[in-house]
Amino acid sequence: MFDLEKVTRENIKNLVSYSSARDEFSGSADVYLDANENSLGSPLLKWYNRYPDPHQHAVKTALSAIKGITSEHIFLGNGSDECIDLLYRCFCNPGKDNVIICPPTYGMYQVSANINDISIKTAPLLEDFQLNLAHIETLIDENTKIIWLCSPNNPTGNSLNRADIEIVLNNFDGLVVIDEAYINFAKQKTFIQELGEYKNLVVLQTFSKAWGLAALRLGMAFASKEIISILNKTKPPYNINQATQELALKALEEVGQVNDMITEIVDMRIALADVLQQVPTVEKVFPSDANFLLVKIKDAHKVYEFLLTKGIVVRDRSNVKLCEDCLRITIGTEKENTILVDSILDWVEQHEN
């Protein structure tokens, strides 16, 4: 049985969180002399002299309408990367606890574990890039606090089988974090609606992909109210800046435009996969539920270098286990995709014999 008390670090349970000026007075007043701000104003927008809302109420209210979940289930981080780091800091004891990662997958689960001195157990994905449930089971011990799942997975692009994720959720007594950074491009539906069912579930999403706002640094974690309140009490008081809160709020009014971009990107992904599949040196285009394609191509590293000479940067994943001879290619604009394909065809022509 999942027991949040047992999973949470002792120092975090006992933590008295920082009480900011905005926490101690959240009403409205004529004269604010409580936060040592610059009362004269700012060289930028007038109100930028003031600290932002530490709890991002407006953004969360707008998000909760879109996601169909109340604000108490939402945490906002400085990118998903901050959510990943905070999950380690709240739930994993340095030098003692461990987590399970299923590579090839997003690198920050490992880097953040290393920063926090948490040991890592790996259960590599199977040949078809699905979970090796039997292997995961053998790795779990009493100090295993988190199992990281990424669906759709980066860099492989596929969604993990929903039934497999449910098996992990039902059988693991620690936290199961499902990173859904690419979920908007997938046929699979989000696990957010399952939060009522699984108390050990944390879902991560981000504004960096489908929302087109990587520069703002805004990530989301969805979980039980209890988990969210632990993340809230541990985060830096003003982790989401005012400009990001304002711009995210504006973006959230444009769901229609974002949905149109998602449709366009998915259509282009399907078209690009089709074209690449026909290129003679391309051995495989892996099925993708994301906004990128994993492409197995002969002499991948050399193709990578050739593309660089043409001013095109893709991600060389050929040194990653299970991704040997693979490039990860983000879906570009129509024009960029055409330039990419033409350049790969140039390479093929030059190396035909």
**Which amino acid type is present at position 81?**
D
Complex with ligand PLP: residue 108 or 249, whichever CB lies closer: 108
Distance CA 57, CA 331 (A): 34
Judge contact between 288 and 303, C-beta under 8 A.
no
Q: How far is the CB of 206 from ligand PLP (least distance, A)?
A: 3
- The closest of 195, 177, 131 to 158, measured between CA atoms, is 131
What string of DSSP letters covers 283-320? Answer: EEE---SSSEEEEEETTHHHHHHHHHHTT---EE-TTS
Rounded alpha-carbon distances, angstroms, from residue 351 to 206, 302, 318, 347? 41, 11, 19, 6
CB neighbours of 123 closer than 8 A, spacing ≥ 6? Answer: 100, 101, 102, 131, 132, 135, 136, 139
Q: How far is the CB of 352 from ligand PLP (least distance, A)?
A: 35
Q: How far is the CB of 209 from ligand PLP (least distance, A)?
A: 7
Complex with ligand PLP: residue 81 or 316, whichever CB lies closer: 81
Distance CA 160, CA 316 (A): 23
Judge contact between 237 and 18, C-beta under 8 A.
yes
Complex with ligand PLP: residue 8 or 80, whichever CB lies closer: 80
Q: How far is the CB of 219 from ligand PLP (least distance, A)?
A: 4
Where along the sequence are the contacts to ligand PLP (CB under 6 A)? Answer: 79-81, 106, 150, 154, 179, 181, 206, 208, 214, 219
Complex with ligand PLP: residue 331 or 344, whichever CB lies closer: 331
Complex with ligand PLP: residue 88 or 347, whichever CB lies closer: 88
CB neighbours of 33 closer than 8 A, spacing ≥ 6? Answer: 39
Complex with ligand PLP: residue 282 or 293, whichever CB lies closer: 293
Q: How far is the CB of 124 from ligand PLP (least distance, A)?
A: 17
Complex with ligand PLP: residue 214 or 255, whichever CB lies closer: 214
Q: Which tokens in the block code for residue 16?
A: 């008295």
Q: How far is the CB of 39 from ligand PLP (least distance, A)?
A: 34
Residue nearest to ligand PLP (CB): 79
Complex with ligand PLP: residue 182 or 347, whichever CB lies closer: 182
- The total number of residues shown for the chain amounts to 353
DSSP annotation of 252 reads G
Where do runs of H (alpha helix) occur along 43-201? 57-67, 80-91, 108-115, 133-139, 162-171
